[in-house]
Amino acid sequence: MDALTAARLQMTVSLGFHMVYAAIGIGLPLLMVLVEGMYLRTGQPHYKTLAKTWAKTTGLLFAVGAVSGTALSLELGLLWPKYMELLGAVVGHIFGLEGYAFFLEAIFIGLYLYGWDRLGPRAHWWCGVVIAVSGMLSGVFVLGVNAWMQQPVGFEWDGDRVTVTDPIAIFKQPLWFYMAWHSTLACYLSVAFAVAGWYAWRALRGQHDARISTALAVALLVGGISAFLQPLSGDLLAKYVFKTQPAKFAAMEGQFVTQTYAPLRIGGIPDEETQTTDWAIEIPGGLSFLATGDPSAEVPGLDQVPREDWPNVELTHLAFQVMVGAGTLLMIVSAWFWWCYWRHRERLLENRWLLWTLVVAAPLGFIGLEAGWFVTEVGRQPWIIQHVMRTRDAVTPADGVVGVFYGFALLYLVLGVTVIVLLRRLANRPSAE
Amino acid sequence: MSGWPNLWSDLSAATALVGMIAYALFGGADFGGGVWDLFAFGERKAAQRQAIQRAMGPVWEANHVWLILVIVVLFTCFPRGYSVLGVALFLPFHLALIGIMLRGASFVFRAYQSPQKEAATTPSVWGVVFGVASLISPILLGAAFGAVTEGAIRVDSEGQIGLIEPDAWRTPYCIANGLLALCTCGYLAAVYLTNETHGPLREDFRRRAIVAGTGTAICAAVVMGLARSEATWFYERLWSLRSLPVVVCGLGCFVGSAWAVFSRHYVWSRLFAAAEIALLIVGWGLAQYPFLIYPDITFAGVAAPEPTLRFLVLSLPVGAALVLPSLWLLMRVFKNTPLTEPVETPAAAQ
Ligand code: HDD
Ligand code: HEM
Ligand code: HEM
């Protein structure tokens, strides 16, 4: 393995790992605050039990998120020094803003987790609110940096000296805003369905108490709303990518040739050799319509892009299909759940079909989340900063990259397995609900 | 700002320095806590571990954000300096990073693995990992620090980055720096813990403070001795008028805190120890300035464009206005009540 491949794989592993915990750190506090709020309003103890259970889980997962995030902030510079030189000079301060959000989150996590008996109920609830808001904000800020990699703005660079013309230029771009919403919703969605799946599983195992139905309702409230908003924000994002990153867009859609009345391809396997996308269900004019609002519009294909500047088309297209597929399924599941809820609320926990579906759907949100990031990050290749710096020019010249990659892969594996073991132990503990 | 051409770059460097002081004072004590956890012994072994767990539990997440602050300020304000450090010290930084990750993770893993409040005292693999990682990370960070003051990192006219020797971060001088960092962490932690415990347990930590303090003094002497030949420029600057007064005050505080530990004036020992660390780091900064990495990289030479520096520096008061009151609240809720009754770990909380 060469250093470039190792460094890219290390980024994939570290970011893929961090994203899971980051999403939980954004989504779970929201659910926690909602049920604790219900406890404050109604005084019914099962709400408090739920909030405490979720707080415990947040405590464990937040710590792993913090650890993996710290790793990332060092790894970015260690593996991609050239990239960090430019990025730091132009948008590094956005990480500074993110830092303030982390700080608040870390402080209030301490207060929340250890403060059940030391703070008044309302003060405690507010601590939860601060966690939920600052978690969301830290995600939104870091997206500013990622959006800048996709659409670098606000600076001039001659390959050596950089001048910054506008330090907040990226916040004025729609891309940042679209990504922030899309990604925040994705976090809520993935966490909500994972929680719903877990409680559906408990219901299937014969537990039918108020906690279970509350958990399901809260999770599907958050999850359902996000599931229906997600395609809207995704559509805005896709239209913008079409305008600013046509190569990525073409790869997402498996569009090799430039054409008018371009079809929307559902599924299908792009083949870079033959430059065709086979086995797809095609909706004529669908892609042109989605990209521009006009079914006859011309959609540039990969033929407009020099061959060496293509991203991995198979992977980008596949990941895009997975993301949209996951989103569609989750919409259907939420609609079905609320229909059942509305029709026969009392017998919800006896509807084994629904419960099994929720169990099966539990990982779909996270699958969509990771797939979406593959679209964004793989589709951006070969650029580490779009049209400014290539990934291969940014990698560190230091020795030992490959060895470090294996070490880190192992480390993440150990951390991941331990978290699963501990979560199971937490769940099986008699004190935990 | 004609009167002060490098105003923003200097302010940024000062920010990084303040971040380092805070990380040393808070994060350093956490490392030390881990070390004392590893070396807990005697009849109150379990109680020692519990005291450490209780002291760290609510604050460790906040304590380690200071490291992130330092990193962010470095790569934002001195991007080229950061990338030079990252290339030259690729391996030691990665190793330290593994230590930092394992430390944080194992601390919570241990807290979560058993339902009792005694989570910290049940023997476990993660307990050991926690201790060992706390031991290794400060040594590595100290050694990296040593490589910088040694002048071992060079950038040639083509921009090629290298160490004067491949193992320049493992020279006796660097290792001595690492041990100095370790002893300092142990000293800080022990002094803080005497402030949070009572009776015989307090005596335990007092004795540990004496041991670590002696170690700190010895390591500091060794580092200085080696610096004369290994890091001559740094040694000369440290003993020149620019930083000597600060260093002397720092050493004075060290003596003060040693006195306070011996005579059981615990509150004073904590104050003096913190002042000592802060002053010595300032002294180091003054000796180092204007070089970020001697002799090729100066702060002003690698400073980011001014709008970026200004944004970061001016955002600090805003960030501080949010963070400092919250931090105060955290400390007030958990540090002002004497920790005689056990604070529950989140895993044990009903
Ligand atoms: C549960 C997760 C989830 C679901 C159901 C969807 N997405 Fe998504 N998508 C993400 C999770 C995600 C993400 C992981 O959060 C990404 C990666 C970067 C980002 O900002 O969001 C993303 C990126 C992303 C991009 C690439 C943006 C870029 O490269 O800058 C596009 C075009 C879409 N999405 C479009 C959609 C559409 C049309 C959906 C219709 C259902 C959709 N997404 C559902
Ligand atoms: C947390 C969600 C994210 C995931 C799952 C993710 C995923 C990935 C993947 C799969 C790659 C490898 C792409 C390839 O080499 O083909 C990658 C690369 C990279 N990502 Fe991300 N990414 C995420 C967020 C971010 C953010 C927020 C940033 C920047 C602030 C970022 C910066 C990078 C960099 C610098 C690389 C390495 C260079 C490259 O391969 O282009 N990523 N990421
Ligand atoms: C879109 C991608 C990302 C999102 C949504 C995100 C979000 C979060 C969140 C919510 C946390 C709090 C910890 C938790 O709840 O588990 C966190 C922690 C952290 N993240 Fe990320 N992050 C992303 C990518 C990155 C990248 C690319 C970096 C590296 C520069 C990074 C650096 C950090 C750091 C340093 C922490 C630890 C903060 C602490 O000590 O509390 N994150 N992230």
CB B79 within 8 A of CB B304: yes
Contacts of B334 in chain A (CB under 8 A): 110, 114, 118
Ligand 3 pocket test target in A19, A58, A80, A142 with most atoms within 8 Å of CB: A142
User: What part of A 32-71 touches B (C-beta under 8 Å)?
Assistant: 52, 55-56, 59-60, 62-64, 66-68, 70-71
**Interface contact flag, A70 B76, Cβ < 8 Å:** no
Whether residue A106 lies within 8 A of chain B, CB to CB, comes out as yes
Q: Given an 8 Å threshold on Cβ–Cβ distance, is A426 in contact with B94?
A: no
Q: What is the pLDDT at residue A45?
A: 82
Tokens of A262: 């371009």
Which residue is closest in CA terms to ligand 2's atom 36? Answer: A11
> What sections of A43-80 are H helices per DSSP?
45-79
Outline where B23-168 has alpha helix (H): 28-38, 45-56, 60-77, 79-88, 90-113, 125-149
Given B64, B101, B113, which is nearest A422 (Cβ)? B113
- A364 CA closest ligand 1 atom index: 1
Give residue limits of the domains in chain B.
8-336+338-342
pLDDT at B38: 81
What φ, ψ does residue A385 adopt, rounded to 5°? -125, 115
* Residue A281, helix vs strand vs coil: strand
> What is the pTM for the complete model shown?
0.89
Q: How far is the CA of A304 from the centre of ligand 1 (A)?
A: 24
Among the bound ligands, the one closest to the CA of A132: 3
pLDDT value for B348: 42
pLDDT for B310 equals 83
**Using one digit for the tens of pLDDT, what is the confidence trace for A54-65?**
888 888 888 888
Q: How far is the CA of A387 from the centre of ligand 3 (A)?
A: 26
Pocket test for ligand 3, best of A58, A138, A190 (most atoms within 8 A of CB): A138
Residue B42 has pLDDT above 80, yes or no: no
Contact between A67 and B304 using a beta-carbon 8 Å cutoff: no
Q: Do B333 and A115 touch (CB under 8 A)?
A: yes
Q: Cα(A181)–Cα(B230) distance, rounded to whole angstroms?
A: 54
- What pLDDT, on the 0 to 100 scale, is given for residue B336? 58
pLDDT tens-digit readout, A3-28: 888 889 999 999 999 999 999 999 99
Determine which of A18, A48, A60, A74 to mutate to test the interface with B (most B C-beta atoms within 10 Å): A74
Does the beta carbon of A143 lie inside 6 Å of ligand 3? Answer: yes
**Angle (deg, nearest 10), helices B45-56 and B172-196:** 90
Question: How far is the C-alpha of B94 from the C-alpha of A6, rounded, in Å?
Answer: 14
Identify the sign of the CA torsion B335, B337, B338, B339: negative
Q: Find chain A residues with C-beta within 8 A of B62's C-beta.
A: 103, 106-107, 110
What is the nearest CA distance from B221 to chain A, expressed in angstroms?
32
Residue B343: is its pLDDT beyond 60?
A: no
The complex scores an ipTM of 0.84
- pLDDT digit string (tens) for B68-122? 888 888 888 888 888 888 888 888 888 888 888 888 888 888 877 765 555 556 6
A93 to B311: CB separation less than 8 angstroms, yes or no: yes
- Report the chain A residue with the minimal C-alpha distance to residue B82: A77
Atom of ligand 3 nearest to the CA of A61: 16
